[in-house]
Structure 1
């Protein structure tokens, strides 16, 4: 009996051991099953996370179950306000940007002169100082010769204005208008009134303020030009370092060529303007003009303006001479018309042939587009920019297109 119980217990132990072995072996396959979450029993955690990510993608603002239109509108309005403030800041600083652009343009254009003086033995700082002194002397001389005649002529016009109005009554046509509408009588009362001087003073004050602003802008440009000329090699070196090393040599070659062409263009324009000023000085002195030097400087400075500069200078000289003598004014107009043709077809092409290789159509288009965008400054820098773009097209873009 005991032996039977021991066998049964042995069998029971064996079966029990077998059951425990089965139970121990059972969790093996379940170990590969996805883990379940407490919030969603029976749902794998990966499915819950995928659903959460899907909801986050559908909801613009994580953490909310619906679209918050107020927050969306406020964010959009804040972005528009920021963009508007940025545009207003750029518009307010437009004058400063123009001065910086002109100064950089002058520094690049005068760099060949500095390099030439440096090759002749002057240190770079001495060459820069020499060029700056020459610029300051030219600007000072131009202002000194221009302001006194204008002031004198304006003062004489104000003093003789009533007499001019009275003389107009001697004309038959104007006399008829005076009898019908009393135009000259009202003009005589206006120039003879006490308010005339005050109004003229207000105009002179506004003109003086404009002149002062121009002088400040000129001084700013000169100072910036000085700094740009001193640091131009460092600026170009930093710009070249921004290019990957594999292309740096090619970019350096193109950049140096562009700087050389811009300098050649400015040098050529200065030479053409100098020739025009000397020719105008000789002619105006020969006809006995009392403002020959002033008008010659005006012709030289306006000749720097592309396309229309020579015409503006010719009209200014013709008007100044014609006010004193109509015959001499007509002779002056004919002289400048002839010289303008010689300059356009003989002098300028020979001077600019080696500096700027740009088609005439591109030159005219670039000057007009630059003038429309930035006014006089845009017209001045448009042709060098067109020359740089043309150089890049010929040496980079077109060869790559031909290889394909």
Structure 2
């Protein structure tokens, strides 16, 4: 009796959505479902785009969190020092925050009246200031370059014509509103950062323990040692940079008061703030202060410029090596590369955090990567 032979599976009709082939002679059958793979891949791309959009929308919040964590790591060495002197952690955190907020409130309370006073003087004596500027040597030099003899008056007329255009007034009004909104947003952001810093500083130890739970138990000892070294280097860097800024601010206050610079307290505060930015901060602050000193006299501006040229050499070759070498052990060339890259990617805040990030990478390479390579 004849029986019907079953056709081999490989010869049976394959569904249109599947492509069938053999892995090799006599090997297992391989099926590639093109529609399923394409659909899952498209879902993955859409999910990646969605996550990117969410990160973009939360960019400001992420920046606040990163800055608060950075400040918390910077204040933690001070809190730890107080703890070693038998001060409870909660009291140490409270003392540190009271001192930090008190210093900034004191500076603002000192600087704001100066700014208001100088603005009032400028408004009241505007005609005299304009007349003095017209008769100054600088204007005479500009007139000699232009050849017309009325460079300032031509500039004033051009500015008046620009302001007379209603479209330009709209642009100017929008810019002023944008500046006002930026200032209001800055105060709001500063408040949020301070609150987050307080929370992070209070729960820093528990955050470290929780992060260690993600590491296998056999590697937690090494992870804790590396993480403690990284957080310590970040804290030392913040303290070192603030120390450099404080030295620049105090010395600027003394010298600018001696040479009769306008509003020396305000200019010293500007010197302190700019010194917090590595590499380019000090020279940028020096240029700004020297230009402001022109309001007093060219001789005052020249004296300020000469002082800052000398101070920058002192900072680069004496102060910074002594302070920052103890804070973070980063080669000089890597400091420059890290600061430039951080500034390009994240602006001023990127430049601030670039050097401790570079120091953290060096610690990871020396403590984790190199030992594993040497053990092979």
Matched, 1:58 2:19: yes
**Structure 1 Cα separation of the partners of residues 315 and 113 of structure 2:** 30
* Deviation of 1:205 (Å): 3.9
Counterpart in the other structure of 2:77: 112
Gaps of 5+ in 1: 1-39, 60-66
Larger mean Cα displacement after TM superposition, 188-197 or 346-355 = 188-197
Residue 243 (str. 1) matches residue 221 (str. 2): no
Structure 2 counterpart SS, 1:58? strand
- Give the whole-Å Cα distance in 1 for the aligned partners of 2:264 and 2:129: 28
Q: Does 1:271 align with 2:271?
A: no
Mapped contact 1:162–1:191 kept (Cα < 8 A): no
Give the distance between the partners of 2:343 and 2:82, measured in 1 at CA. 33
- Aligned residue among 43, 48, 68 for 2:6: 43
Q: Does 1:126 align with 2:98?
A: no
Structure number with larger C-alpha Rg: 1
- Alpha-carbon spacing, 1:294–1:50, altered in 2? closer, same or farther (3 Å): farther
Distance 1:341 1:193 in 2: 49
State whether residues 275 and 285 of structure 2, in contact with CA within 8 Å, keep that contact through their aligned partners in structure 1: yes
Comparing 389-398 and 254-263, the one that deviates more: 389-398
2:104 to 129, 139, 142: 139
**C-alpha separation in 2, matches of 1:68 and 1:242:** 37
Query: Residue 212 in 1 paired to residue 184 in 2?
Result: yes
Give the superposition deviation at 1:342. 0.3
Question: In the aligned structure 2, how far is the partner of 1:298 from the partner of 1:83?
Answer: 43
Q: Which runs of 5+ in 2 are unaligned?
A: 21-32
Correspondent of 2:351 among 372, 379, 388: 379
CA distance in 2, matches of 1:195, 1:379: 38
For normalisation by structure 1, the TM-score amounts to 0.75
Aligned equivalents of 2:12, 2:69: Cα separation in 1: 59
- TM-superposed CA distance for 1:79, in Å, is 5.1
Q: Which residue of 2 aligns with 1:316?
A: 288
- 1:74-123 deviation line (CA, Å, top 9, x unaligned): 87666544433332221121111111111111111111101111222222
Give TM-score, length-normalised by structure 2.
Answer: 0.81
**Which deviations, in whole Å up to 9, do the C-alpha atoms of 1:342-385 show, x marking residues without a partner?**
01100110112222111001111111111111111111111111
User: Which residue of the partner structure matches residue 100 of structure 1?
Assistant: 65
Counterpart check, 1:327 vs 2:299? yes
Structure 2 partner of 1:164: 130
CA gap 1:124/1:109 in 2 versus in 1, 3 angstroms: same
2:260/2:300 contact within 8 Å kept = no
Alignment of 1:166-181 (within 5 A): 168=134, 172-173=143-144, 176=148
Q: 1:378 to 1:73 in 2, by over 3 A?
A: same
Does the Cα contact within 8 Å between 1:370 and 1:378 map onto a contact in 2?
A: yes
Give the whole-Å Cα distance in 1 for the aligned partners of 2:89 and 2:185: 32
**What secondary structure does 1:122 align onto?**
coil
